[in-house]
Amino acid sequence: MIDKLKPAPLAYQNEPFLNSPDGRILRILSEYQEPLARFRREQIQDTVVFFGSARFQGGAAAQKNLTTVEKNDAKAPAVQQEESLKHALAAVDMARYYEDARRLAFLLTKWSIQIPARRRRFVVTTGGGPGIMEAANLGAHEAGGKTIGLNINLPFEQNPNPYITPSLNFEFHYFFMRKFWFAYLAKALVIFPGGFGTIDELFEILTLAQTDKLAKKILVVIYGSEYWHRIMNFQAFVDAGTVSPEDLNLFKFVDTPEDAFAFLRDGLTEHHVGGLPKKEKEQEVLPEIAKTRP
């Protein structure tokens, strides 16, 4: 007697299939459709994306680490002492960028939540991890706004920072789908000092803008001219004829949170809010917001 067969699993409940090479297209589509559904549910219209090093700490944490290094390295070999102290001093110096990212995200969010709109405008978005990402999510959180984290599943685990709005905490497997969501909703990009990943994101957006592949105006702010001029000579591209002189107008260098905020506020208003009446334009919003620091 032939045993009765159990019903086969539905294809969309068949985990071995979904996790196989044949199920890859479904996994990719899921990393498009699931975030899209959540963004719609949370009424996110557009974003401002912050990029920068995951290795920076806030001022207090960096100073505490320096004190620990100075204390613990007293008996270490001289070469090791010098190396540890150099890194700890650099961390204290670079901590200003953490604090500036926090401040800028705070200013931007305070302004954006005052914009009369049915959906949430210019929501601060990061890669969801530590460093500059944490600082920007923290600043937006302190301002009382929602804030997005687009994390990535890596062999060396990157945990989401605690300041992301829980309903807007995402985890991606595919880098290219994560990049898609960085760019798709973005109306502005803020590039803080960082490493290979930060540079990769910057040049991807600049390439899309340069080749007219964006259906919208994206403002690009490069924060910290001292750092960026030290590691990259943008004028050399023009001098070598590899980019046009006008391509350098695709981005703007800024060095203070207040200057960055003013540039973003004015550009986002002009290109994406529809402009303000003359009377409103003459009112200075920045000092009003600047009274309340995070």
Convert the pLDDT of each residue in 71-102 to its tens digit: 775 666 666 677 778 888 888 888 999 999 99
- Does residue 286 have a pLDDT over 70? no
Q: Which of 148, 192, 187 has the alpha carbon at shortest distance from 50?
A: 192
Which has more confidence, 284 or 220? 220
Q: What integer pLDDT is reported at residue 85 of this predicted model?
A: 81
Q: What integer pLDDT is reported at residue 45 of this predicted model?
A: 95
Q: What integer pLDDT is reported at residue 199 of this predicted model?
A: 96
* 53 neighbors 90 (Cβ within 8 angstroms): no
Q: What is the pLDDT of residues 15-54, one digit of tens each?
A: 999 999 999 999 999 999 999 999 999 999 999 999 999 9
Task: Kindly report the length of the chain.
Answer: 294
* 188 neighbors 122 (Cβ within 8 angstroms): yes
User: Of all residues in the chain, what percent carry a pLDDT higher than 90?
Assistant: 73
Cα–Cα distance measured from residue 59 to residue 28, given in angstroms and rounded to the nearest whole number: 39
Can you say how many angstroms the Cα of residue 244 is from the centroid of all Cα atoms in its chain?
Answer: 27
Q: What integer pLDDT is reported at residue 82 of this predicted model?
A: 75
Q: What integer pLDDT is reported at residue 68 of this predicted model?
A: 79
Where do the structural domains in the chain lie, given as residue ranges? 45-57+96-290
Cα–Cα distance measured from residue 42 to residue 5, given in angstroms and rounded to the nearest whole number: 44
Q: What integer pLDDT is reported at residue 22 of this predicted model?
A: 96
For 199, the 3-state DSSP assignment is helix
Here the tokens at position 149 are: 């984290």
Here the tokens at position 5 are: 């067969």
Q: What is the pLDDT of residues 186-228, one digit of tens each?
A: 999 999 999 999 999 999 999 999 999 988 899 999 999 999 9
Residue range 45-57+96-290 in CATH 3.40.50.450? yes
Q: Which of 158, 63, 25, 49 has the alpha carbon at shortest distance from 104?
A: 49
Q: Measure CA of the first residue to CA of the last residue in the chain; give whole Å.
A: 75
- Does residue 284 have a pLDDT over 60? no
Q: What integer pLDDT is reported at residue 66 of this predicted model?
A: 78
Q: Kindly report the CA angle at 158 between 83 and 228, in degrees rounded to 5?
A: 55
Cα–Cα distance measured from residue 211 to residue 85, given in angstroms and rounded to the nearest whole number: 45
Q: Could you tell me if residue 144 is left (phi over 0), alpha (psi between -120 and 50 degrees) or otherwise beta?
A: left
Task: Work out the mean pLDDT of the chain and round it to a whole number.
Answer: 89
Long-range contacts of 18-27 (CB under 8 A, 24+ apart): 27/173, 27/174
Enter the pTM of the model.
0.86
H helices of 7-77, in order, are: 15-18, 24-41, 59-72
Q: What is the pLDDT of residues 97-155, one digit of tens each?
A: 999 999 999 999 999 999 998 999 999 999 999 999 999 999 999 999 999 999 998 77
Q: What is the pLDDT of residues 245-254, one digit of tens each?
A: 999 999 999 9
- Edge-first strand order for the sheet with 123-126 is 169-172, 148-152, 123-126, 47-51, 186-191, 219-223, 252-254
Tokens 């991606």 appear where?
172
Residue 189's beta-bridge partner residues? 49, 220
Cα–Cα distance measured from residue 130 to residue 159, given in angstroms and rounded to the nearest whole number: 8
Q: What integer pLDDT is reported at residue 277 of this predicted model?
A: 44
CA atoms within 13 A on the CB side of 39: 23
Quick one: pLDDT band at residue 281, thresholds 50, 70, 90?
very low
CA atoms within 13 A on the CB side of 267: 21
